[in-house]
Structure 1
Amino acid sequence: MRFIGATRRRRIDGNWQRFAIALALFLAGVLSLAVDVIVACGRSDSAPADAAMVLGAAVDGDTPSPVFEERLRHAAALYESRRVEWIVLTGGVGQGDTLAEAEAGRDWLIAEGIPVERLLVETRSRTTRENFTLALPLLADHGIDRVLIVSDPLHMRRAIRMALDLGLDAHPSPTPTTRYQTWRTQVPMLLREMYFNVHFHLTRH
């Protein structure tokens, strides 16, 4: 009986050890991904490009949301500093909206003095991947090769991976300011991006 009890204890101990190792590996993977997303926030390409591609975000009626406005303001600064020749706006009509995100962004930029002939608009996409795939014909039609991807810093890691995966000569240009400024807003955004980064890698093929 003592032998049986000792064997059972060793089996239980072995199961706990395997569980502890698996948990440690999982937590290490989560931490590594979080660090990867955060590190990507600080990467910004300062070299000129053919265009700035603004990834769509929500609109309030026909007005860009504060998050979207940060992206538009950054794209306008890139154009005004002559770092890009075009601004490509992406984003379709969201649920409950009547105006496409890209159209709202175009109107905002025109009001800021950006020439309408320098704006290219894609109005059908609903996801980050669609932002890129549906904008590809616009890039080809206007001879645009090198693009700066404009989005929120925490979104940049996934956006660049997607763009490169689709064959774009894409480079990061995250907004220098962000609406995600507190832990209460940053942590959910970080967790969301970690989830979608994993989802992208699992479904990319």
Structure 2
Amino acid sequence: MRLALPALLIGAVATAALQIARYAAEPAPAKVDAVIVLGAAVWQNQPSPVFEERIKHGIQLIRNQAADYLILTGGIGIADAHAESAVAHQYALAAGVPAQRMLTEAVSTVTAENLAQACALMKQHGLDNALIVSDPLHMKRAMTLARDIGITAYAAPTPTSRYRSWHTKAESLAYETFFYLSHLVIRLTPAAPRCAG
């Protein structure tokens, strides 16, 4: 019995990590209402390399007519002067995305809040479905959160990633596994994330 619980925990962690690493997106419709770019760190008034990859992918999807609106998420992080979404908005504007095709929220600080606030924007603007843009290893958790919050969502992982070395990939996978399993527990409680709208 003493070994049973640790073995079960190890098995659960290993299974979750494998699901995250091997996550395959379901086919998305040819066009959806919105592209949601999940927030990430900014460096002063510039997106971090990880965030830049997400923004660039969101911009490309808009250029390819995959959606009508680009939803940019993320508030002001610790020691930052600018909201992540504001930095992303300026980046996309400079890349030629019309301001009227962008929606932003600037209060969220974690993935669940990104998606809850994006859900509220979708409701306000009558948008029914969305592509979720983030890093490949983030997609399993992001998609689970989106669906739990109530967004009809399809995965659109970045084709490139700043997590390239075995070390950075391992760190990212460990991080995602912990927070994915944490969400599976939280979703059963009153603290589960809800659409902010």
TM over 0.5: yes
Verify: 1:50 aligned to 2:40, yes or no: no
Indicate conservation of the 8 Å contact 1:54/1:150, yes or no: yes
Higher mean C-alpha deviation, range 29-38 or range 121-130: 29-38
Stretch of structure 1 that moved more, 178-187 or 42-51: 42-51
| 1:24 to partner: Cα distance | 3.6
Q: How many residues are treated as equivalent by the alignment? A: 187
1:37 aligns with 2:20: yes
CA distance in structure 2 between the partners assigned to 1:64 and 1:57 by the alignment: 8
TM-score, normalised relative to structure 1: 0.87
TM-superposed CA distance for 1:136, in Å, is 2.4
Question: What is the CA-CA distance between 1:126 and the residue it aligns to?
Answer: 0.6
Cα contact 2:139–2:155 (8 A) shared by 1: yes
Amino acid aligned to 1:126: T
Partner of 1:192: 175
C-alpha change, 1:110 and 1:52, in structure 2 (3 Å) is: same
How far off its partner does 1:46 sit?
3.9
Distance 1:127 1:22 in 2: 31
Counterpart of 1:112? 95
What is the aligned partner in structure 2 of residue 182 from structure 1?
A: 165
| Equivalent of 1:81 in 44, 64, 70 | 64
SS of structure 1 residue aligned to 2:39: coil
* Structure 1 residues without counterparts, runs of 5 or longer: 1-17
Flag structure 2 segments of 5+ consecutive residues without an equivalent.
Answer: 190-197
The percentage of counterpart residues that share the same residue type is: 39
Match of 1:166 in 2: 149
Which of 125, 129, 133 is the aligned partner of 1:146? 129
Q: Offset at 1:70?
A: 0.3
| Residue number in structure 2 paired with 1:96 | 79
Q: Give the 3-state SS of the residue equivalent to 1:149 in structure 2.
A: strand
Deviations 1:131-165 (A, max 9, x none): 11122221112111110000111111111111100
| Rg larger in structure | 1
Which amino acid in structure 2 is aligned with residue 81 of structure 1?
N
TM-score of the two chains, using structure 2 as the length reference: 0.90
**Which one has a larger percent helix, Structure 1 or Structure 2?**
1
Quote the offset at 1:181 in angstroms.
0.6
Residues 119 and 150 of structure 2 are in contact (CA less than 8 Å); yes or no, is this contact kept in structure 1?
no
RMSD of equivalent CA atoms: 1.3
